[in-house]
Amino acid sequence: MCPRQGRDPGEGITTPVSKLTLESGTVVIRRAVAADVPRLHVLISGFADRDRMLHRSLNELYENLRDFRVADRDGEVVGCCALHVFWADLAEVKSLAVAEGRQGGGIGRRLVEACVADAAALGIPRVFCLTYEADFFRRCGFHVVDRCRFPRKVWSECVRCPKFFDCTEIAMTREVAVAGAGPAAEEAVAAG
């Protein structure tokens, strides 16, 4: 067996990493591909127009395509979530959305878990989010923190946000178990 098998970096681009069987069908969590972007834009814009989350332009979505996981229900994208790396020890879980009519079935949680698994595979020990949905993220293992804990985030991205001076998002964080990740583990795998 290939030593990398099951560790994600070697997976095919549309290989599902998590499968969820609902009454209404099977949902797989997979990496996003370029063809998903128009649908992601519609999904996110629908909530952003109602101030439920921040807008993402098409350009931003294409530029950050590799950050994204999608929930695919029989070929239809019904959810998305991204992991954006900030520093050696910190990444943001962002742009989480589940289509209305598909909510409440565990898809949001699966998307978050897929992003947390990405952070673990990258050797990043902490993820955070800025959210209006604190209760949902609490159920996903996050806890509230002072946003001043994340100065790089505030000064790099937030200053460009139109809501910077009137922001009501809640900062939350979750520790990530990264045992076995990192360069030492990679060398050990390579050495067999």
Task: Note the residues at the interface with ligand COA (CB under 6 A).
Answer: 47, 52-53, 96-98, 103-109, 129, 131, 133, 135-136, 139
Q: How far is the CB of 97 from ligand COA (least distance, A)?
A: 4
Q: How far is the CB of 29 from ligand COA (least distance, A)?
A: 11
Residue closest to ligand COA (Cβ): 108
Angle at 185 between CA 15 and CA 5, to 5 degrees: 25
> DSSP assignment of 128-149, as one string?
EEEES-HHHHHHTT-EE--GGG
Cβ nearer to ligand COA, comparing 36 with 181: 36
Q: How far is the CB of 118 from ligand COA (least distance, A)?
A: 17
What gap in Å lies between CA 56 and CA 98, rounded to an integer? 15
Cβ nearer to ligand COA, comparing 20 with 185: 20
Cβ nearer to ligand COA, comparing 96 with 181: 96
Strand order in the sheet with 90-98: 18-22, 25-31, 68-73, 76-87, 90-98, 126-131, 170-175, 143-144
Q: Which amino acid would we find at residue 146? A: D
Q: How far is the CB of 78 from ligand COA (least distance, A)?
A: 9
